[in-house]
Structure 1
Amino acid sequence: MSAVAVKTEWKIELATEIRNKMKRLAKKDRAKAEAAKEILFDFEAFCAKCLKIKTKDGSLKRLILNAAQKELVRVVFEQLAAGKPVRIIILKARQMGFSTTAEAIIYYLSSLQEAKNAFIVAQDSSASENLYDMFRLYYDEMQGVFKPMRKRNNSRRLTFENPSNKDVELIKNPGLKSKITVSSAEKKVLARSETIHYLHVSELAFWPDKKKKQHLTSLFAAFSKEPGTVGIIESTAYGMELYKEMWDSAVAGRNDYIPLFFPWFEMPDYRMPVPDDFVLTENEKKIKERFNLDDEQLQWRRFTIRNDFEGDEEMFRQEYPSYPEEAFLVSGRPIFNQEQVQEDIMHAPDPIRKDFDDRLWIWEEPQPGEKYEIGSDVAEGLDEDENDASTAVVFKRRTGEIVATLQCWEEPFDHARLLDKLGRMYNNAKLAPERNNHGHAVLLALMEVFRYPNLYTHRDYDQKGNLLEKEGFPTTQKTRP
């Protein structure tokens, strides 16, 4: 990712308080006022000139955006320039600075404009305190002309208002009437009584499971859908849960969130000097070639696995993924051999074509004389956002290769129609739909309506030893293994 300057056509609408300060500065020193104006309308310059952060060694430094942070900023401000409500979901490696960047964007938008409400939610109280301290540092270290008045609060909130108790002063110069609130997902209730213009959901995958959906419902109900609003959801992966569902929906285009993935090797700090006896393992050679890495990055990776994760490479891949699927594959409680899955994904070919309105992916066309088998998992198919997909997999019997896959959200009858078409396409393949639940309706349509000629018949014996035969595959405690 190239480290290019972030420039867009969008310009912030400055609050009256800030405009008045700029006018007074122009009367005193026009050159300084022009320089200040350049900074105000260039977010990257605003970060570099005005915002300070704490470094890992405990010192303060200006916020200089790295390449990955610039990519997030570019997407946000391009969406603002397009007049859209900004919705972004981020899957990332650990400690790449996206909370810092999201807070910088929100601080910029909230501290220079009027009547804006920002709401930030972290996974727990400790994390929310860290994010609030970040905002406080931004404010405390801000230069005078860009620094709005602030009303004192006891909670984790920055309220940009005139702190005076005199009504005359408040009427004459009320301040921005904007605020930034930082909260924790551990709370019972979030944001039920106010409109949110800027929302940052931090480490969603690690929110308390019992409160995750409830809190998001409450936040989204309060979150304005107007152009110019900004919502950023970011997290590292942690199993197959709600954040994973939202990420998958964004990738598939089922919601309006823009998915941004940032692998660990895009962080410029993640590299170490290479020792003289450094020799790559076979696995490291594959990783180096696949992702075009250098030895300093691989030495950092090796050091981190050995010292931060006690040699557990799977934990490293969860916290510092190289591609999106890797993060979710190794997190949670995986059943399948992860090394083999990783290897397969890294070398998986693209389909040669798609069919059935892109629902069918084909890796090999039907071959004359070949025999094929199709297994199908049947779902209800009512709502793509809320329900599982119905799926089918086409195998070449002679080799066991997968030659095509189908994924759709059709109701049982329409799913049966697609299976009939798919089976006939592949030389009247042996077709084995699961017969549990909605599978009964699919099988009935295949037999009575489409009269499919080659359905799988499951054979079993009852307690008396009598042979039982019935179309379709029954998933039971006995057959599941």
Structure 2
Amino acid sequence: MGCKDLIEERKKLWGITKDIDADLEWRVASWREIISDRKIFEELLEKPWLLIELQFVVIDKDFNEVPFFLNEVQRDFQDNTLGPLYIKQLYKEVEQIKIKILKGRQQGFTTYITAFQLCLALTLHGFRGFTMAHDSESTGSIFTDISKGFYDSLIDEIREEPKRSNARELVLESNKSAWRVATAGSKRAGRGKKLKMLHNSEKAFWENMRKNAAAISQALTKYSIEIDETTANGFNEFKEDWDEIREGNSKWLGVFYAWYRTSEYRKSFKGTNYTEYEFLEAVENGERFMGVDSKFMKLLNQLLNTAGLDKYQVHWYFDKRLELKDLVFQEYPCTEEQAFLYSGNPYFDIELLDLLLMKKYKPLEVLNNGEIEIYEYPSPGERYVIGSDVAEGLEEADSSTFFILNVRTGEEVANGEYIMTPDNHGRILDKYSKMYNNALIAVERNNHGHSVLNTLENECKASLRLYITQADATSVRKTQKDKYGWQTTEPSKYFMLDELDTAIRREYIKIKSTRTLKQLRSVIKENGKISVNGKDLVVAVAIAWAVRKSRPVAAMW
């Protein structure tokens, strides 16, 4: 028998008795078995977190003492992220472990990570752990309600009288280990300590986040663990850190947990002033219900039919929407993008974009290691238009893009995003213009767009397929070479974005690519201004939609 067998035995006993005294007797007996069996004891020393389900007790939502059995998200994090990394660090395969957790409310991460640190304090000599909370109330709660509660409920054979146990620290004399908690920004918090583990709780809500985080992180030793866990808090420094992870420019590992990964988030229909049938019918039809708009009901439909949730889960989410309004997306997000953007001021209709994202359209063909996606091959007689944003092509985050639109259907047929010099970008645009029935090419001519247009006109001989700004349409083309392309000014930017917003809301345009939809979700309106810097695909699709009614001189129809 190993530790996992003993955990299953404890679970079985609890399922039968639901008696905390019987559980206490089992914990005493099982501990004696563990310390008398060298193999089991060594397993516990290698994986100290097994102590949680073997010996820990927690207070449930009804204020009853119950065994601490992990919920789904806690187990997933332990078994698939923290546990494997800890084992690698134990055998010196990795040095510092750095993990950021983006989550919904009350999924149990603070409780679990606190328990994990206590396991290390009990089993390792000289362990130093630290938790930084975002405010003083949380600091006291983490120590008194969680950590001290865990420690006080341990059996006598494990628990010792701490050298110090107060509102801020737990110090063990026998193995010289300690765990402390403080409020982010408090003077000298963690300074001078040689920390083995640091837990930064609700980090997105810290004041002066980077400054305070840098101060405490300096106390970490070579082989250490640092975990940030938080719900989103708008477009702040944590969001910037998260973006760096997703762009592959960070030493941190990021993990996201949607609200529905917590299985207890479900609600029956008892006590409601509507029937289960009425609710499910509204979900199925995507109709406004009980004051909740049709877009949210369509999202529930997607969760029910695409994401595999059951009726009680979507009813719970509906109830939270009634309670929290739009804040439900920040507090209980379905996606990491949703978590951040609903706490900002998104320009485009996020709910409609989420519905499109959940459809998960698959391209027919992916080329150049994912740089180009084909969703529909050209059809005879169809008219296409290409919108393009141009970058210098010298930096990793500096991408040139194109977006190809079927003018009649409004459907995306292809897109591209890559690091490339302007002249090579021009050659690719020429290739796909010819492929898609001599499609009109609308290149943003600002900055490096002139180089692309020069390649298209002089090398590719594509001038008859180039978009000309409407104001220049009556000019003699041979003397107006610099007027090819789309000129983005403040008025034209707002025009093309407004036109695209209307098209998305009225479902005139059908965007399929995940990367384009995600960029559209990230466009924020702040202080009356909209920035599309770094949103290269957004610019490409907006240009394509804005010029869709124009025709190339070389039209073949």
Structure 1 position 80 matched with structure 2 position 77: no
* Cα drift, residue 101 of structure 1: 1.2
Change (3 A) 1:340 1:285: closer
Q: Which residue pairs with 1:261 in the alignment?
A: 256
Contact 2:49/2:119, CA 8 A, preserved across alignment: no
Change (3 A) 1:470 1:285: closer
Query: What is the aligned counterpart of 1:430 among 425, 440, 443?
Result: 440
Change (3 A) 1:295 1:87: same
Contact 2:48/2:123, CA 8 A, preserved across alignment: no
Q: What is the TM-score normalised by the length of structure 1?
A: 0.74
Q: Which residue pairs with 2:59 in the alignment?
A: 54
Q: Which residue pairs with 2:493 in the alignment?
A: 480
Structure 1 position 34 matched with structure 2 position 36: yes
Q: Secondary structure at the match of 2:306?
A: helix
CA distance, structure 2, for counterparts of residue 221 and residue 410 of structure 1: 39
Q: Which residue pairs with 1:294 in the alignment?
A: 310
Change (3 A) 1:156 1:455: farther
Contact 1:6/1:73, CA 8 A, preserved across alignment: no
Q: Which residue pairs with 1:26 in the alignment?
A: none
Q: Secondary structure at the match of 2:366?
A: strand
Contact 1:91/1:260, CA 8 A, preserved across alignment: yes
Q: Secondary structure at the match of 1:480?
A: helix
Contact 2:302/2:355, CA 8 A, preserved across alignment: no
Equivalent positions of 1:53-132 (< 5 A) are 53-75=58-80, 76-82=82-88, 83-84=93-94, 85-132=96-143
Moved beyond 6 Å, runs of 4+: 4-7, 448-451
Q: Which residue pairs with 2:344 in the alignment?
A: 332
CA distance, structure 2, for counterparts of residue 382 and residue 187 of structure 1: 43
Equivalent positions of 1:404-443 (< 5 A) are 404-410=414-420, 419=429, 422-423=432-433, 425-427=435-437, 429-439=439-449, 443=453
Change (3 A) 1:6 1:120: farther
Q: Which residue pairs with 1:271 in the alignment?
A: 266
CA distance, structure 1, for counterparts of residue 450 and residue 180 of structure 2: 52
Q: Which residue pairs with 1:233 in the alignment?
A: 228
CA distance, structure 1, for counterparts of residue 417 and residue 216 of structure 2: 32
Once superposed, what is the RMSD of the aligned Cα atoms?
3.8
CA distance, structure 2, for counterparts of residue 58 and residue 473 of structure 1: 64
Aligned amino acid, residue 72 of structure 1: F
* Cα drift, residue 47 of structure 1: 1.0
Q: Secondary structure at the match of 2:309?
A: coil
More helix by share: 2
Comparing 265-274 with 371-380, greater Cα deviation is found at 371-380
Change (3 A) 1:66 1:421: same
Aligned amino acid, residue 478 of structure 1: P
Aligned amino acid, residue 113 of structure 2: A
* Cα drift, residue 323 of structure 1: 3.5
Q: Which residue pairs with 1:374 in the alignment?
A: 386
Q: Which residue pairs with 1:316 in the alignment?
A: 328
Query: What is the aligned counterpart of 1:305 among 321, 324, 333?
Result: 321
* Cα drift, residue 74 of structure 1: 0.4
- State, as a whole percentage, how many aligned pairs show the same letter: 31
Change (3 A) 1:356 1:259: same
CA distance, structure 2, for counterparts of residue 6 and residue 431 of structure 1: 67
Change (3 A) 1:397 1:71: same
Task: Write out per-residue CA displacement over residues 121-157 of structure 1, whole angstroms, 9 at most, x where no aligned residue.
Answer: 3333322332233223333333344446744377733
Query: What is the aligned counterpart of 2:209 among 198, 209, 212?
Result: 212
CA distance, structure 1, for counterparts of residue 189 and residue 436 of structure 2: 54
Aligned amino acid, residue 36 of structure 2: E
CA distance, structure 2, for counterparts of residue 261 and residue 289 of structure 1: 22
Aligned amino acid, residue 114 of structure 1: H
Contact 1:391/1:406, CA 8 A, preserved across alignment: yes
* Cα drift, residue 320 of structure 1: 1.6
CA distance, structure 1, for counterparts of residue 351 and residue 157 of structure 2: 56
* Cα drift, residue 338 of structure 1: 2.9
Change (3 A) 1:232 1:32: closer
Contact 2:48/2:120, CA 8 A, preserved across alignment: no
CA distance, structure 1, for counterparts of residue 428 and residue 199 of structure 2: 42
Change (3 A) 1:424 1:99: farther
Structure 2 alignment gaps of length 5 or more: 8-30, 284-296, 473-478, 495-557
* Cα drift, residue 472 of structure 1: 3.4
Change (3 A) 1:358 1:291: closer
* Cα drift, residue 380 of structure 1: 5.7
Task: Write out per-residue CA displacement over residues 297-335 of structure 1, whole angstroms, 9 at most, x where no aligned residue.
Answer: 3343333333x32xx2x3223322233343344332122
Contact 2:132/2:182, CA 8 A, preserved across alignment: yes
* Cα drift, residue 367 of structure 1: 4.1
* Cα drift, residue 97 of structure 1: 0.4
Task: Write out per-residue CA displacement over residues 405-431 of structure 1, whole angstroms, 9 at most, x where no aligned residue.
Answer: 223355656655655555555455433
Structure 1 alignment gaps of length 5 or more: 8-28, 163-174, 462-466
Aligned amino acid, residue 203 of structure 1: E
* Cα drift, residue 443 of structure 1: 4.9
Q: Which residue pairs with 2:368 in the alignment?
A: 356
CA distance, structure 2, for counterparts of residue 471 and residue 50 of structure 1: 73
Change (3 A) 1:43 1:293: farther
* Cα drift, residue 264 of structure 1: 2.2
Change (3 A) 1:216 1:373: farther
Structure 1 position 471 matched with structure 2 position 484: yes
Count of aligned residue pairs for this structure pair: 429
Q: Which residue pairs with 1:396 in the alignment?
A: 406
Change (3 A) 1:347 1:55: same
Q: Which residue pairs with 1:200 in the alignment?
A: 199
Contact 2:130/2:181, CA 8 A, preserved across alignment: yes
Q: Secondary structure at the match of 2:492?
A: coil
CA distance, structure 1, for counterparts of residue 161 and residue 302 of structure 2: 55
Change (3 A) 1:408 1:70: same
